[in-house]
Every structure is written in structure tokens, then in C-alpha cells.
Structure 1
């Protein structure tokens, strides 16, 4: 794999799968060789759109395809455990969309599967792979703003989304938190690690999913993070991190920024811009590039998106859902079965 192209399989054919595949086909060291959907018609249409050689009408055939180096799982998060698990059990390496799973228990199962088989596994948290975010993290780690005191991040969509939409559907893990809130929570984790405690409030829909959620995370250091997500109001979708010696502000679309501004006490603000060579801010290619780098290096996880970090984020999301009273039907069914 050190010299040949990395061969990708795409599992699911929705919007995020299309966006990721569009970026993949532009990478000279990547090749998309197969796609799978629960519908043969959908798989065929996706394959024709992107010039993919093999189209499967069920997931198992893709998982069994030994001509694939890594599978990108792009189903709704309610199906991540089943889809990624199927691929890992078949010996495939996996890049799995976020939220990584429905809950921490499912995430732990996937991590155990990957480690048991020596397979690569990574959450598709593209924010962590973004060069601007990586620069920000480095500055914070080097003490550019001193000791981190607080983090703020929000992600809200105006909607309205009808009850039949996947964001309102409990059977698809609907609600603002797992779909959007995973970004603010992951941003706080990136800078501060797993919180020691949290409080949370939410507005729930008639279906029992969260329409908007706010949480205050706290750490033993005294740092706090305020995170908010919504599917009933379009927010600024911005973020900031404040330290004892200054502050860094991220603009709207903080999870794929093209710049940030560093404010240090006693100095003029400094604007850090994305390198034009890194491509447009909306690209998903940075996470694909990181996966391929790791595979060529023989690594089973990425240092940019470590599995322990993914598990920690899932524990925080679980804790927030517990506080606000969101529980999905399949979680109860799974617990009853066990």
C-alpha cells in the first residue's frame, strides 16, 4: 500500500457520501472501487455518477470485497454500529461518520472489534483534520493564550424540519445533539479533554428528540465550556477559546474554518489564514488524506482522531442525553435483548 492507490469502498449513497466521494476522486492516490446501498438502484445510480466499477445492493457484499483497502461508512449514525461492525468483522479498515455511533456502548464494541482484528478504525471528525484547526490546537498547546479558561461553540440550523425528517426521527437517532452538537462537544474535547462534570437542558419534540440543547461542561482545572446546538434556530455556528493570556475566535462554520483571529493581551490581533494550497474550506479530503497516510504507515488509528478521544466524546454525548431525557427506542430494545 506504500506505492499503489488506496482503494475505497463507499457504504451508503446520501449527501455526505456524495460529498466525500467527490473529494476522493480528485485525490491522485485514492481510487473508489465499489459502493453499496440497501437499494441496488441507488447503488447503481451512485456508481454511474462517480464512475465506480462495482455497485452492490446490500452491505455484506461490500464488506466481503477483498479488493477494498478501507470502507467509508456514511449511513445515519443509528446504523453505524451495524454497518461498521459488518465491515470490521470482514477484515475491512473503516472510516465511520460522526456521530460515531448512537452511544458509547456501541462505540466501545466497534473499537474492540477493530483492535481484535488489527484493523484501522477512525471517526470521520473532519474538523480535527482541518489544517486551520490543527494550527489553532498547536498554538493553544504551546501556550499562546496561556491556560485555557473557557470554550464556547454552537451549531444551529433554522429548519423547520417536518416530523418525518431524519432529524426528527427517533428511529434514526434524530435530534440536534448527535447530528450537530457533536461538533461543539468535540471542539471542547479537542482543547480540554473529557470533562469531569456537566449540566444540560433541552427542548424536546413530540417525538422525543432534542430540538435544541445547551450544556455546560466543567473540568477539574476550573475550565468551562458552553456548547449549544439547535434544529429550530440558525445560530452563528462560531466558536472561541479563552485563556489566561488571550483569546482565539473562529468565524461562522467554525468546524471547517478558513481563518481564525488570535487576540493576545497587549498585542494587536493576528489573523491566521488557511493556506490556499489546502483547498476550499468545505473539503473533506483532509480526513481522507489522513486515513491513507495512516494505512500506508501501518497504523490502526489516527493520532489526529484517536479512538480514546472518540470514546470520550461519546461518553459526554451520552451524559448530556441522560440529563435532558433523550433515549432512543432501539437502545431500550438492545438492553432488553441483552
Structure 2
């Protein structure tokens, strides 16, 4: 007997939702059955584009659609708490875009709600699912570079972004940290777990969002992470993991790497590359 397909609902119709849906419709075990927007015309256009049978002009109708197994929430950060909470309350499982919420309080509320409803809830940190990132993680876990001492990662865009842009708008969860900094932070946590201490400094815009943020994370075992994000300067988007017996360098695009290099004491460097698409 063929396995039953997972039935998806898409909440929001912007660029991220379109990119996700374009891949989702190609999966043999997935079926996109509905889409919702706050404007019916946007939902209709999105549904026509991807061949989705039902289009809703409000979020509640999608959340209460009993034919949906899981909802992908692709709204701006500022609406994640409302949208994901609405779907969880209605008994749907939820995959919510990053940044998961605007703050820890909202995140705790969603986690508590998912536990109360017995529902699956996950942040859509796709970096964790990248095959080469998973290979890197496995090497570190297997002790290829010894005990991890330091992680460095950066993600910055040159811009410039005008004050009207969503990245400069506090009401839409703007700023470098929520949009870009989630990648360096998640990369460090993937390798070292939750830090015991966080120290950070930011340069703020006139609107009150962070134009760039630098953070130093520390762990009880002595490990450190130096992280940076910016919307006022393009960075190398590089990462490096230093251990007691070696180092792994990701020269660029660490969140979707094409290659990384393993340096081990007394051995020649070893390069790992992504499989061809």
C-alpha cells in the first residue's frame, strides 16, 4: 500500500512562501491542498500559480480546514506568533519560518501551546537539513577536530536598505539579527548546544532596529562563539570551527555550503563538496 501523502497548507503568499511551495509540489509524499492570505486576490493568484485547489482570503479558514495536516507559516516575523498560534489552536501541525518569533516570550507561548495540543511545531531552519552541513556536524560529533574550542560565523548584506524597507521596519521585525543573525546563532548552537552566557552589542538605526550586531557566546566547557550579522555591509558569510585537534573552514555561504575543508594536525587538508544538483 502506498504511503499517504502529507497534506500541506501554505499561510502567506510572498517570495519565501513561493520558493518553499515550488519545491514542495515536486515531492512525491507531499500535497499542497490550500493557501491563505489576508487578501483573497493574493490567495487566488498563488493557488493558480501552483495548482492549489483551495484559496482562502483569511487565515482562520485555512487553520480550520480539516483536510490539512501541517501548515507552513511564511508571514513576516512579526506575525509568526499570531499565525502559528491560530493553526496550533485549530489542531494543525506547524512549520514556522525563521526567525521563529520576535522574542523568547512568544516562542515559549507557542511551544506550550503545541505541547498542550499534542502538535508538531518546528522552526524552518533549513540549514540544519542541508546534506553538507549534516556531514560537517557528523565529523565534529565523531571527534574529527577534537573538542570544539571556538566557532566563528558571519552573515551580512551590503544594502543599502531605505527606511521604508521591511528590514528597517520595527513593526515587521526588521533588523539584522532576526533576519540574518539567526543563521550564525543556529550554526553555533548546532555544534555546541545552548550557550551558558551571551554578550552582544548592536548599532541601531534611527527606526530602532539593529543595523549590525556582534555577539560572543560562551559555554560552561570553555568554548566560545564569535558571531556577526549586518544589513549595512556585505560579509564573507564564512564560518570556522576550531577544535583541540584541528579545524573546519567553510569559505563562504556557510548556511548552504558548496564545500568545506577539514584541517587536522599532522595530515593534509581534506575537502568535502556538495553533491551535484
State whether TM-score is above 0.5.
yes
User: What does the per-residue CA deviation read over 1:137-179, in whole Å, with 9 as the maximum and x for residues that have no partner?
Assistant: 1110110000101000000011111111111001111100011
1:274 equivalent in structure 2: 274
Runs (4+) of structure 1 moved beyond 4 Å? none
2:133 equivalent in structure 1: 133
Q: Report the structure, 1 or 2, having the larger helix content.
A: 1
How is 1:1-338 mapped onto 2 (pairs within 5 angstroms)? 3-276=3-276, 279=277
Question: 1:2, 1:62 → 2: CA distance?
Answer: 27
SS of 1:61's partner is helix
SS of 1:10's partner is strand
Question: 1:96, 1:257 → 2: CA distance?
Answer: 23
Gaps of 5+ in 1: 280-338
Displacement after TM superposition at 1:198 (Å)? 2.3
Distance 1:44 1:204, change over 3 A: same
Question: 2:106, 2:80 → 1: CA distance?
Answer: 9
Question: 1:116, 1:109 → 2: CA distance?
Answer: 11
Displacement after TM superposition at 1:2 (Å)? 7.6
Displacement after TM superposition at 1:258 (Å)? 2.2
Question: 2:197, 2:11 → 1: CA distance?
Answer: 36
Q: Report the structure, 1 or 2, having the larger strand content.
A: 2
Question: 1:113, 1:226 → 2: CA distance?
Answer: 33
1:323 equivalent in structure 2: none
